[in-house]
């Protein structure tokens, strides 16, 4: 084959080979979410954080995560830092309901959408956040109350003086669970709340406050309503140290549905836990992706939850995901 023809063919083959190489389009910049978490105060919070981090990793999201140690000013600082870093979306679980107008207006002015997870806020302008993803805390309080109404019906001769361990003062779960519970137990005048104080959602504080309740009310306490399982577990220690039987001498109603609660129920020390689902990570990531893509998202996205009495604990325990 004469040289010039061979060269021509080679040149054509080389040109075709180059044309076949797909120059990768500029890889899309990953979505960046700035997330301000309440803290690490409970088993529930640990599971919530793990869900958010796992979902972000799974979706290739660049997650900037800040733990506020249950201090509102740390959350405000983190949100301002996310604004300065020009993240695509800001998400947070507000430790309390009020005091967010100013910083949320700064985010709006910077055209950075805000998604609330877990807890909500009280603001005059609902456009300050795009969506809320979480539970109906009033309904969780009602479910706790309904279980106790039913217990009272089955134990008509039992005294039913209640002590209440409230969650963080000013937080949506504490305010709303208290409201829902009180609304339902009003149906039975024998169900009386004789002491109520915050244990700030932690085991340590729950134990400390329960010790104080036992000192002042002693055997007059028949029921404990705890706004979360961690405070209930702390209170169980205090009840045992006082020589009483948790779950028997003092009936215990709690909320969250964490592993520690199932273990306590299987030991006969807790009577019921109302589930509060912390696994919000996948929904948060999907919602953030939709917002950035300009798709409409619901203003409020609630999660399904159940009620688990002690008699159901052993069967349900292997299915628990948190």
Q: Is 97 one of the binding residues for ligand GZL (CB under 6 A)?
A: no
Q: What is the largest CA-CA distance in the chain?
A: 111
What pairing do the DSSP bridges indicate for beta strands 307-309 and 272-275? antiparallel
Q: State the minimum distance, in angstroms, from the CB of residue 105 to ligand GZL.
A: 24
| 222 or 228: CB nearest ligand GZL | 228
Pick from 97, 256, 275, 305 the residue near ligand GZL by CB under 6 A. 256
Query: CB–CB of 210/165 below 8 Å?
Result: yes
Query: CB–CB of 216/210 below 8 Å?
Result: no
List 36's β-bridge partners, or say none.
66, 92
Classified as helix, coil or strand, 115 is strand
Taking residue 8's Cβ as centre, other Cβ atoms within 10 Å add up to: 11
Q: Which residues contact 172 (CB under 8 A, 6 or more apart)?
A: 94, 97, 119, 120, 121, 137
Pick from 33, 34, 36, 45 the residue near ligand GZL by CB under 6 A. 45
Q: Which stretch binds ligand GZL (CB under 6 A): 10-18, 41-49, 149-157, 179-187?
A: 41-49
Q: Is 44 one of the binding residues for ligand GZL (CB under 6 A)?
A: yes
- Phi/psi at 140 (5° precision): -60, -40
| 119 or 207: CB nearest ligand GZL | 119
| 88 or 256: CB nearest ligand GZL | 256
- Over the window 122 to 141, marking each residue x when it contacts ligand GZL by CB under 6 A and - when it does not, the resulting string is ------------xx------
**Nearest residue to 312 (alpha-carbon basis) of 266, 274, 276, 250:** 266
Q: State the minimum distance, in angstroms, from the CB of residue 44 to ligand GZL.
A: 3
Q: Is 173 one of the binding residues for ligand GZL (CB under 6 A)?
A: yes
Binding site for ligand GZL (CB under 6 A): 41-42, 44-45, 118-119, 134-135, 173, 201, 228, 230, 255-256, 276
């Amino acid at each position: 084959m004469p040289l010039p023809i061979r060269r021509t063919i080679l040149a054509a083959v080389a040109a075709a080979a180059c044309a076949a190489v797909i120059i990768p389009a500029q890889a899309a910049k990953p979505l960046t979410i700035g997330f301000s978490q309440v803290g690490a105060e409970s088993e529930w919070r640990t599971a919530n954080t793990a869900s958010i981090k796992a979902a972000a990793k799974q979706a290739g999201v660049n997650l900037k995560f800040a733990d506020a140690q249950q201090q509102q000013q740390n959350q405000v600082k983190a949100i301002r830092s996310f604004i300065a870093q020009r993240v695509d979306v800001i998400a947070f679980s507000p430790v309390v309901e009020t005091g967010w107008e100013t910083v949320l207006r700064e985010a709006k002015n910077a055209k950075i959408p805000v998604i609330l997870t877990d807890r909500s806020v009280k603001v005059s302008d609902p456009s300050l956040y795009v969506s809320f993803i979480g539970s109906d805390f009033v309904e969780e309080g009602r479910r706790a109350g309904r279980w106790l109404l039913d217990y009272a019906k089955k134990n008509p001769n039992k005294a039913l003086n209640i002590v209440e361990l409230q969650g963080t003062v000013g937080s949506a779960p504490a305010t709303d669970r208290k409201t829902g519970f009180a609304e339902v137990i009003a149906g039975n005048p024998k169900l009386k709340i004789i002491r109520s104080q915050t244990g700030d959602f932690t085991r340590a504080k729950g134990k400390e406050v329960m010790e104080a309740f036992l000192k002042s009310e002693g055997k007059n306490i028949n029921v404990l309503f705890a706004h979360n399982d961690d405070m209930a577990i702390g209170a169980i220690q205090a009840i045992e140290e006082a020589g009483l039987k948790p779950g028997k001498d003092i009936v215990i109603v709690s909320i969250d549905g964490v592993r520690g609660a199932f273990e306590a129920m299987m030991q006969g020390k807790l009577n019921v836990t109302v589930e509060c689902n912390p696994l919000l990570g996948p929904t948060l990531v999907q919602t953030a992706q939709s917002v950035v893509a300009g798709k409409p998202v619901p203003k409020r996205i609630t999660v399904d939850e159940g009620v688990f009495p002690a008699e159901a604990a052993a069967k349900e325990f292997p299915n628990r995901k948190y």
